[in-house]
Amino acid sequence: MKYLKIFTISVLLITYSNLVLAADIYFIDMKKILNESKAGKSAQNFLKKKFDSESKKFEKEASVLKKQETDLIAKKKLVSPEEYKKTLSELRNKSLDYQKRKRKSQNEWVQKKNEARTKLISATNPILKKYMSENKIEMVVDKKYILLANSNFELTDVILKILDKEVKSINLN
């Protein structure tokens, strides 16, 4: 009988402590905050314009290289073999240079995108900390790690409004 009382009290304490902890855990959708905040949207627009302009530049250069290649193939029988090899070698070098610059540009774009994400998360963290301390919240978890939860514990819209008031844009230059 003594063990039954101890077991019952232990189960009640564990259950009660779990209920207390569960009430202090909230979640936010970081993806929504990154995509729908004013700062996130401005960063996305900046990056999209940069990507589009770079893509157009590289498309034009690729079409020029393709045209040079077709011209060289058409002239193959009209020029000497040495001249053909020399021109072919120059064209290959241009193509390799083009590929290196394109890859470098893509890597820079990815770095800028990651930098923007990091800056926005860094700007969101103090807002979250302040909100948590004001509202006595123990933990905030990203929504993507939640399997199932009551929507009453979601703070995304509240944090999004505060973030939009405090952070209008992030500097990516």
The answer to pTM > 0.75 is no
pLDDT 10s digits, 87-129: 889 999 999 999 999 999 999 999 999 999 999 999 999 999 9
Q: How confident is the model at residue 84 (pLDDT cuts 50, 70, 90)?
A: confident
Q: How confident is the model at residue 25 (pLDDT cuts 50, 70, 90)?
A: confident
The mean-pLDDT minimum among 60-69, 77-86, 134-143 falls in 77-86
CA atoms within 13 Å, Cβ hemisphere of 152: 4
Q: What is the mean pLDDT of the chain?
A: 86
Q: Which CATH architecture has domain 2-68+99-166?
A: 2-Layer Sandwich (3.30)
- List beta partners, residue 139: 25
Q: How confident is the model at residue 148 (pLDDT cuts 50, 70, 90)?
A: confident
Distance of alpha carbon 155 from alpha carbon 159, whole angstroms: 6
Can you list the positions of beta strands (E) in the chain?
A: 25-28, 139-142
For 18, phi then psi, to 5°, come to -65, -40
The mean-pLDDT minimum among 4-8, 130-134, 154-158 falls in 4-8
